[in-house]
Homo-oligomer: A and B are copies of this chain.
Amino acid sequence: MDLDERKLKILQAIIRNYLETGEPVGSRTISKYTDLNLSSATIRNEMADLEELGYILQPHTSAGRIPSDKGYRLYVDTMMQDKERQVDEKMDMLLEKEDKIDNLLKQVAKVLATNTNYATMISAPQVHRNKIKFIQLSKVDDLHILAVIVIEGNMIRNSILNVPEAIDDETMLKLNMLLNTNLNGMAVEEINLGIISALKQQAGIHSDLIGNIIDAFGESIQPDNDLEIYTSGTNNFLKYPELADHEKASELLNTFEEKENLSELVQESLAGESETGIQVYIGNETPIQSMKDCSVVTATYDLGDGMKGTVGIIGPKRMDYDKVVGTLKTIMHQLDDLYKK
């Protein structure tokens, strides 16, 4: 048995209808809803076939049909309409240029959440492959020195280092020179043991300090330490009955609070990047356990200078995929417009 034209049309109608109403869809509805001019009985036959093929399922006998994960997948892959243009008009400029990238990201998360009525997350750019632009050590007081690193894209990391004894200004200057001449222009992850030991050697009696500093760099830049994730619209979960019961909602809220879990999603999404940069995970396809009953749409943003990160929209499986994808694309374009130049 195969999916002929008509079955596709019916499946599409079922899904469209279900996305709108959230209620199982019956044969009579489809019979009227489509322009196929078929009786409900015929539809019923076709629906029985579609069910056998696994595209739709019945919550219980004598109920209408709802799409299965397989059904959604087919829809997303082949039937979605590009709503981008329509969306575009409505929200032609929602983002404001922000100096601090964190604030921009928070803004994106919020705008997306209010526009889609789903929960959103956005990861701060991964620093992988990002070049060190500038390093500065300064003496704060006798026992503390401040290390500041500026990375390409003007992201700033800093940490306070404890030193066992005071360091005089001259040494300080030398260390600064040493670090800058050796490390500028390097990607953070390129700093390997060889380079470190070379640096230590050059530092002479201060090799311990160099060690400390490098360690501090490593720590402040390690992916999991660094992977800041902002979320918004978590209360939207409560709007969808299929997610709103205590058990599920609680788990979801927890996932959004313990952001470590979300980072899995970020990794996954960055790894499996598609041409458009947009990916859809339906139900069990998501890498995160607590989202089994959700669908997740992710996009990769790129602010230039290798500052890439992931945006995600998390909602019920019956989310408005067309709108979500459209909105994401729009926002991505706006980000491009704001930052690419």
The chain A residues found within 8 Å of chain B, CB to CB, are: 99-100, 133-134, 136, 138, 140-141, 144, 146, 148, 150, 154, 156, 158-160, 231-235, 238-239, 244, 246, 249-251, 253-254, 257
Contacts and interface: CB of A to CB of B under 8 A. Distances in A.
Nearest to A133: B140
Contact of A239 (B100, B150, B238, B246): B246
30 contacts: A99-B159, A100-B159, A133-B140, A134-B138, A134-B140, A134-B141, A134-B146, A136-B148, A140-B154, A146-B148, A146-B156, A148-B148, A148-B158, A150-B160, A156-B158, A156-B160, A158-B158, A233-B257, A235-B249, A235-B250, A235-B251, A235-B253, A235-B257, A238-B246, A238-B249, A238-B253, A239-B246, A239-B250, A244-B246, A253-B253
Contacts of A100: 159
A95 B300 CA distance: 37
Contacts of A234: 234, 253, 257
Contacts of A238: 246, 249-250, 253
Contact of A160 (B99, B232, B251): B99
Nearest to A134: B140
Nearest to A146: B150
B257 A232 contact: yes
Contacts of A141: 133-134
Contacts of A246: 238-239, 244
Nearest to A246: B238
Top 7 nearest A-B pairs (CB, nearest first) are A235-B253, A235-B250, A136-B138, A134-B140, A238-B246, A238-B250, A154-B160
A232 B257 CA distance: 7
Given A99-B160, A234-B253, A234-B257, A150 B140 contact: yes
Most chain B Cβ neighbours within 10 Å, of A134, A238, A251: A238
A246 B244 CA distance: 8
Contacts of A249: 235, 238
Contacts of A244: 246
A239 B99 CA distance: 40
A134 B141 CA distance: 9
A238 to B, nearest CB: 5
A148 B244 CA distance: 46
Contacts of A150: 140, 146, 160
A279 B155 CA distance: 40
Given A134-B140, A233-B257, A244-B246, 15 more contacts: A99-B159, A133-B140, A133-B141, A134-B146, A138-B148, A144-B154, A146-B156, A148-B148, A148-B158, A150-B160, A154-B160, A235-B249, A235-B257, A238-B246, A239-B246
A291 to B, nearest CB: 15
A183 to B, nearest CB: 14
Nearest to A141: B133
Contacts of A233: 257
Nearest to A135: B138
A106 to B, nearest CB: 10
Contacts of A232: 257
